[in-house]
Structure 1
Amino acid sequence: MKLSARNQLDGTIVAVEKGQTTARVKIDIGHGLVITSSITNEAVDDLALKVGDKAAAVIKASDVMIGK
């Protein structure tokens, strides 16, 4: 699948934590970095996401905040 978003971080799913309506999916992108995304439980089921799967965190945002 091709996407217009340029910020695509490949990794491995290390956790899928379903709640009542949304799930937190954690992707290890290497070097000790883990990206966490909140998506619907339906999306988790549709994509058949599970720990150990290869996946990409796709980031499309108009703003990026920096904190220190």
Structure 2
Amino acid sequence: MTDKNIGGLSDYIVLKKVKEVVFYLHNPYPDCLEIPAIMKQRFPDDYKSIITSSLEEFKKYRGQV
């Protein structure tokens, strides 16, 4: 995966052990407004979302999967 393919609401990391979903959004607003609906549709209620605008931080989360 190249850096150009990373980001957006369709690219996220699910950390099942801690019940978190990490989204990488280079420019979070207004895309971040869609995250509650995505979380409600795709994940159980006890999962929480994390948004990062740092590509390096996002890649660190990938290493946890």
Q: What's the TM-score once normalised by structure 2's chain length?
A: 0.26
Which is greater in Rg?
A: 1
Which structure: greater helix fraction?
A: 2
Which structure: greater strand fraction?
A: 1
Q: What's the TM-score once normalised by structure 1's chain length?
A: 0.25
